[in-house]
Structure 1
Amino acid sequence: MAGAMLVAHLLVVGWLTLRPLDVPWAAAANLTPLEGIRTDLAQGPLEAVRRIGEGLALLAPLGVLLPMVSGRLALSRLSAWSSLARTAAAGALVSLSIAMLQTGVPGQVVDVDSVLLNTLGVLLAHAAVVPALRARLRRSRAAYQGSTPRIPRVGLGPWTDVLSAVQREY
């Protein structure tokens, strides 16, 4: 189920970011970190919230879907920091791949700030949702396991009486 959701999300992201656009002119690529964010902030708070929010939200579902697909959501031995770092690295690679593919698409402009915002969105989604999912999964496993079975008497198992009788015969 999570794999299908991941594929569906990546198809939508690909369609949104890699389709050719008919524009009369295209802006130059932004390769200076945080320059696009400064420009967005200069255009006013509503435009800044919209543009920065779009950058954060585009790949944010990967922060939850990647641990679910890889099976790392259920692992308790995996530390939270290594899970966060692994998911952030995967999100950054996906975002960087999209930026590199955009160089060949007419009307699409490469922006280093989109890579930064996409990666930050993956980090925030992972930090906000995955620990709660892991805790819920641990609680549900504990509920299904039930209580530990108790043996009414301390001593040897039930077959020891039979085995000791067989040994006495020889």
Structure 2
Amino acid sequence: MQRQEAGHSAVIPLRHRTLSGVLLAAHLLLVGWLTLRPLDVPWTPAANLTPLEGIRAALAAGPLEAVRQIGEGVALLAPLGVLLPLISGRVELSPLAAWSSLARTAAAGALVSVGIGMLQTAVPGRVVDIDSLLLNTAGVVLAHVAVVPALRARKRRSQVLSQGATPRITRVGLGPWTDVLSAVQREY
């Protein structure tokens, strides 16, 4: 059963939202395992707190290394850009609400990335990198912009098709009681 909300004529079914929540939890567990397990390295570089310094270094290392490092940073949290809006379940949004959804999703992605960075300070072999925060947030935004509007449009189209055309009711003449009611009103 789909609930009706003010300003929203339809929402994503609960089973899809639940599946999105399960996928989100599984993805966050995988991200935690990838980013928070200790590394056995002989030395660790200093923390990168200067924005875009690590990206410049990756670009200087060559195009393949740049694509690998930047791609890893963008792809790490990109699924959040799709899964978080699916959990909210809204299908039809005004343009202002769509921008608000993008802003909330980007903020959530940035907060998850900051949380990972803060937790990495306690893990041996891991260091904080401000560029990972920037790339992770950019990945969340890019995934949201690339996928969510198309998913919402597809869902709206499928709901319109499943509902069918608006039913037409033929006009009916006056009911048999109208003569009685009009006679009663004339008496008063």
The alignment's TM-score, normalised by the length of structure 2, stands at 0.82
Q: Which residue, 67, 76, 86 being the options, matches 2:93?
A: 76
From the superposition, tell whether residues 146 and 26 of structure 1 become closer, same or farther in structure 2 (CA, over 3 Å): same
Aligned to 1:32: 50
How far 1:168 moved relative to its partner? 7.3
Other structure's SS at 1:79 match: helix
How many residues are matched? Answer: 166
The C-alpha deviation readout for 1:100-137, integer Å capped at 9, x for no partner, is 00000001111000000000000000000001001001
Letter in 2 for 1:111: D
Separation (CA, whole Å) in 1 of partners of 2:173 and 2:35: 69
Aligned residue number for residue 25 of structure 2: 7
Match of 2:171 among 134, 153, 167: 153
The question of whether the paired residues in 1 share the 8 Å contact of 2:55 and 2:131 is answered with yes
Aligned to 1:22: 40
Structure-1 separation of matches of 2:146 and 2:86: 15
- 1:45 paired residue number: 63
Which aligned pairs between 1:125-140 and structure 2 lie closer than 5 A? 125-140=143-158
Identify which of 96, 102, 110 aligns with 1:92: 110
Q: Say what the alpha-carbon RMSD is for the aligned residues.
A: 1.9
Letter in 1 for 2:46: A
> Equivalences for 1:52-63 in 2 at 5 Å?
52-63=70-81
Name the SS for the 2:176 alignment partner: helix
TM-aligned CA deviation for residue 55 of structure 1? 0.2
Q: Normalised by the size of structure 1, how large is the TM-score?
A: 0.90
* Cα distance in 1 between the residues matched to 2:173 and 2:140: 55
Distance in 2 (CA, whole Å) between partners of 1:59 and 1:163 is: 67
Aligned partner of 1:141 among 130, 142, 159: 159
In the aligned structure 2, how far is the partner of 1:151 from the partner of 1:133?
34
In the alignment, is residue 106 of structure 1 matched against residue 119 of structure 2?
no
**Which residue, 140, 147, 152 being the options, matches 1:122?**
140
Structure 2 unmatched runs, 5+: 1-18
- After TM superposition, the runs of 4+ consecutive aligned structure 1 residues lying more than 6 A away are 166-169
